[in-house]
A and B are shown apart, each in its own frame.
Chain A
């Protein structure tokens, strides 16, 4: 027996802990080298872009810096106006001094050929203001004091307090305004947060719709997948393999093909409607509208996401020994009781995994709603894509995406609280 008070040592008297560390260091280094490529890959393709996206949602230099594309030189813009905003609290009526600052900045914009960039930034918050900037910059050299009157002469909209509030917000590169916009809020002339007018409220409605449709789709996939998975898990292997191929077949075909085949089936002159009319179940004049609306999105997405529910359910059900249900039956339970109290509780980990998978995929789904959704079936991801590709308001797109990410993480956390993440079986 060794003395307990003394730290253990190796045969030649070195501390045992150090010797153990040295002995394992090599193996640990090698293990780390093995995961290094994956780590680098994740960092470059995942962590870095997401970080950038999150940064973009709070940082926009459209109204603060101009970058020369060819030389890479960066010049600060709108500095005079920014100085005036710093000196005066929000809600201050823009005076001559403010207009003079604006006039000076317009000259800078003109020289840098940057009025478009600055105008676009303001246009994000107040549409129609881009042309005001380009127009004003064109005649910036001819502006003479008193600047207020001179500028208002160019366009009386320059006196709009909302415009000044927008410029105040944009005069700092860091802003929360994109997040406000993403939840249909804006700052009024006094700088306090208010709802945007009703005709411009889009995002909250779309978030709600995305959430409800995703829940509906998750529920539908669950209802459809549960019996299929059960059948797969209980059939003899020979038959279940064939059925499994049928489940996976859509998985292997192109997403676009699957979506367009739904279009062929469901459109008003499509196969389903023709069949219904042909059988006399439906008048020719009231064909069902199942495409280019919410119904189309739900049907197509339920079909496309079905395998993601079937597979986790199947993998859990396959491991449930049939003798559990038999035991329950022999103990006196009807088949319904045996299912409810014995079989179903054991499939909960699979349901949880499938639901989480389908829901998260549905929340971010883009291509199917874009193709079959029409105006009514668009989801939030379609709007994010719109801001990325059409309106080029990347900061707003980033803010919307960040909110979506936050929402999903919140749900994940909620799931962990309610069901427990260790109760999740993906395969």
Chain B
């Protein structure tokens, strides 16, 4: 996925802080710039401040400090209804006493748009989400997925340039969620709208976004495109939070030529890419993705460090094999291999040697 970036910032958070009780900061010094047309996801565990950021952007919460700009204009003092931002809520928030068509008419009526134009826009918006025939129904008569589509159509019907989505797919089952993920991305790209999407589901974040901002403890831990986020996590939190990750703890022995040699706690040496370690003697957590672990020596660089491992458990998962190993005292070390015809099935109890390319093994903060 490429970033359709233009240079001028469309949404901007400048040194934004938020506190509810005057004692603790929910959002700490947030700086974020989004170009027009970007699909940005705020990802993080609950309580990490991502929804607060969204609410500040929508105007339902005021920033305690700092400035939020939309298209270059500060919006801190603009009430929500004048911001012209579409929003999709977690529970859809379809007005229960109105029909679907009336729900969609609401934003157009308050904008004093004439009846014929209104009906045209409603029909177009409903057709867009394939709900054209449901205008006369009430929200309670629709399934969760249908309500979700209507909520989306309602947020888009007044043609906002920025749309916020607060965990919109949280209540749907897996299959429907995957379908909607695809549809939302397609709609966002087709309409060229800028989207800020909040979720705690990393798969959703990775598959939908141009860029993902990983939140923890009120701070953006990393802001990067999905592939970069997964393959080059900037710190231990991101490495742990995004995808499956193996962690080995140790101490930096030396750093040279872009390679850090780490002495693990059991004395073994491995080669890593130093990410946020620089000096020998520093504590570090080494992170390796399960699918980047290699036990076929011929695929490793000559002279690369290897580790002894004992196979603990072999799990057949259909498309992949998942093998649990005991490595350097860590018996939760997972490797994943593709189910290919020539693939080896490791037996529990077997002693093997594992290794990896130094760039796949990242020495992060302890």
A: residues with CB less than 8 A from B are 321, 323-324, 326-335, 337-338, 341-342, 345-346
Contact = CB atoms under 8 A, between A and B. Distances in A.
What 3 A-B pairs come out closest when comparing CB atoms?
A: A331-B107, A327-B93, A330-B87
B288 interface: no
B342 to A, nearest CB: 52
Interface string B36-70: 00000000000000000000001110000000000
16 contacts: A326-B58, A327-B89, A327-B93, A328-B106, A329-B59, A329-B81, A330-B58, A330-B83, A330-B85, A331-B87, A331-B158, A332-B158, A333-B107, A334-B110, A342-B95, A346-B97
Counting chain A CB atoms within 10 Å of each CB, the highest count among B58, B60, B155, B158 belongs to: B60
B89 A326 contact: yes
A330 B79 CA distance: 9
B86 interface: yes
A327 B103 CA distance: 11
B84 to A, nearest CB: 7
Given A334-B110, A335-B81, 5 more contacts: A327-B87, A329-B79, A331-B107, A331-B158, A333-B110
Contacts of A329: 59-60, 79-81
Interface residues of B, number: 27
Contact of A323 (B79, B86, B93, B154): B93
B40 to A, nearest CB: 18
A337 to B, nearest CB: 6
Contact of A332 (B81, B95, B164): B81
Contacts of A321: 91, 93
B90 interface: yes
Nearest to B90: A323
Interface of B: 58-60, 79-87, 89-91, 93, 95-97, 106-107, 110-111, 154-155, 158, 164
A324 B95 contact: yes
Contacts of A346: 96-97
> Do most interface residues of chain B lie in helix, strand or loop, or is the interface mixed?
loop
Contacts of B164: 330
A342 B109 CA distance: 13
Contacts of A333: 81, 106-107, 110
A330 B60 CA distance: 9
B11 to A, nearest CB: 15
Contacts of A328: 95, 106
Given A331-B106, A332-B107, A332-B111, A324 B93 contact: yes
Contacts of B86: 330-331
> Do most interface residues of chain A lie in helix, strand or loop, or is the interface mixed?
helix
Nearest to A326: B60
B123 to A, nearest CB: 18
B163 to A, nearest CB: 10
A24 B248 CA distance: 65
Contacts of A326: 58, 60, 80, 87, 89, 93
A328 B59 CA distance: 13
A37 to B, nearest CB: 38
Contacts of A330: 58-59, 80-81, 83, 85-87, 155, 164
A337 B93 contact: no
B355 to A, nearest CB: 52
Contacts of B158: 331-332
Contacts of B95: 324, 327-328, 342
Contacts of A331: 81, 86-87, 106-107, 110, 154-155, 158
A334 B81 CA distance: 6
Nearest to B95: A342
A310 B91 CA distance: 27
Contacts of B110: 331-334, 337
Nearest to A325: B93
Nearest to A348: B97
A247 to B, nearest CB: 27
Given A337-B110, A341-B106, A332 B93 contact: no
A334 B158 CA distance: 16
